[in-house]
Amino acid sequence: MADNKISLDKLKKEMNDTVINYLRESETSGNTPTEEQFRELGSRLVNNIGIEHKKELGHEDLNILKNTMTNYFETAMVPKYKRSLREHPREVNGHWPKPVSDEAYKGYSKTLKEEKEALIKDIKYLIRESERTNRTPTQAQAISWLTERMQKDLANWSDEQGKRYVTSYVNAWLSGEYAKRMSQSQRNHPRKENGHWPWKSDEEEQREKEQKKAKDVLAGTQKSGPLKEFHSKAPFASNYMKTYQSFSGYDMVCTIEMYMPKGGTYTQVIGELQTITYSIHQEKSPIRCLGDMNAKGYVFGPRTIAGTLIFTVFDRHWTTKMEKEYLADAGVNAHMLADEFPPFNLTISCANEYGHDAVCSIFGITLVNEGQVMSINDVFTENTYQFYATDIQYLAPVDVTMGGVKNPTAKLPQAEKMPPVLNKPPAAPRPRPIPEIVSTPPQKPDPEKPREKEKVKLPVKNPQKDTPSTTESQPMSDEEYKEKLAELDAQLKKAEDSYKKTAKEKGYPPAWVRIMMQRTKTTYQRKKEALDRARKVTKKGETV
């Protein structure tokens, strides 16, 4: 018992030291978690204690130890968290504390003091003008104005941690300081908070309200295309103009993206696809207990993403070109079916006549079932598939317009979104072997004799040529680097010309070309980075 008591006191001391250090970092960095997050910290500490003593104690003793430490955290550590907030008033911003050096902390404290002095001057000026003009804003208006001035002061400060420290302490101090000074002013100069600014006339405030209202109304409306001129001249628009944009099947183009056996990426527009559906199912099981017929809650189980693809059948199967490219890349002369392809991505690009774009992507599609009906009763033939998928990105607008990119930082879904199973290039399929063609006519097999296994001659890979790591293991001269980089640039240019030609022939919108080029540039950048890495590799023992 004595040993257990000493051990328990030691554990309490370690938890106390950890929490004190944690709160000290919170006070010096301005990063303050919520009370719920702080209790999560306690749960992690108790779990760590349980893991450390799992082998030493039995199951029952371990539960007693964990319960004891949990009670200690609630009764001793949570009050310290609340006392820290009282002694060092700061905003609970939900950020985890970070260690800050003494020199940085002194700089933060100095900036905080200067910012408080500047805000006190602003508060005095606001109150003085309010007393003179009898125009007094509400406390919310005043706090908003003071906060904007503080943000302007901190805008040129490159230290984000310092900004967070100053903002945290100022936000906790500002409301009380303003309320104290304004209440004292209202006792000396009785007046009401009428929501008006002391330095603006009624006409100016009314004009600003109308301008702000017009901006808010036009913010969700179409600003390009046929309605651009109307919105540029309209002084006011109805709230009914705030509408979402929609797309029909005519506005959609589907693109398949699949990794090739040797590491490349195959991309193809699927023009035969006429219908695509998906469904998401997640098993959720009820939690029940004795004495209550209702469920206490539900737990999440496995999720399944599945769907169907319906293709229009023309004079060939939709995978004909894709199968040919895949087998050529693998260097295999074989026959394969659609369900033997590795998992692939399917991107649905939408662009309507008003210049609005949207993208929906389904990742890691694996084909499961295939079916086709040919009948005299059908006007045309359809090919149907059922598939499983690993992830889906819901339909979302793309921030581009017909005139170019509105937001240069907007990004489309990239190929790196491939599921983990696709991070490595898939191996070539195990094909059903096709015998070599011989000059003698085929003979009927003799049922009396056992069937011999057919021999297939597969192309032998040259390890010096086909191994992907060879490029990175050999040094590359500047001339070779420039030559291969020029080839990449030529391929990028060729792809752009090809996309433009395809869009012109099939009537695709310009947004389709931009989306396809965005994906092609992603592949180009990945290959260029591989070239850069290969250029830096030299013979063993040498340095660049």
Residues 14-23 have pLDDT tens digits of 888 999 998 9
Phi-psi region of 294 (alpha: psi -120 to 50; beta: other; left: phi over 0): beta
Are residues 85 and 93 in contact, defined by beta-carbon separation less than 8 angstroms? no
Q: Does domain 245-283+300-429 have CATH number 2.30.110?
A: yes
- Residue 250's pLDDT is 84
Domain boundaries, the chain: 2-87, 102-200, 205-241, 245-283+300-429, 465-544
In this prediction the pTM is: 0.39
Long-range contacts of 146-152, Cβ-Cβ distance < 8 Å, separation of 24 or more: 146/119, 146/122, 146/174, 146/178, 147/171, 147/174, 149/118, 149/119, 149/122, 150/115, 150/119
Terminal CA-CA length for the chain: 65
Three-state secondary structure call for residue 507: coil
Compute CA 232 distance to the chain's CA centroid, rounded to the nearest angstrom: 34
Pairing of strands 391-398, 357-373: antiparallel
Angle between helices 35-52 and 59-72 (to 10 degrees): 150
Q: How far apart are CA 167 and CA 147, in angstroms?
A: 9
| Count of beta carbons in the 10 Å neighbourhood of residue 430 | 10
Enclosing H/E stretch for 11:
helix 2-29
- Residue 276's pLDDT is 94
Percent of the chain topping pLDDT 90:
17
Residues 204-259 have pLDDT tens digits of 767 777 776 666 655 554 444 444 444 444 444 444 555 677 888 888 999 999 98
Question: Region 115-125: what's the mean pLDDT?
Answer: 89
- Residue 537's pLDDT is 57
Are residues 329 and 406 in contact, defined by beta-carbon separation less than 8 angstroms? no
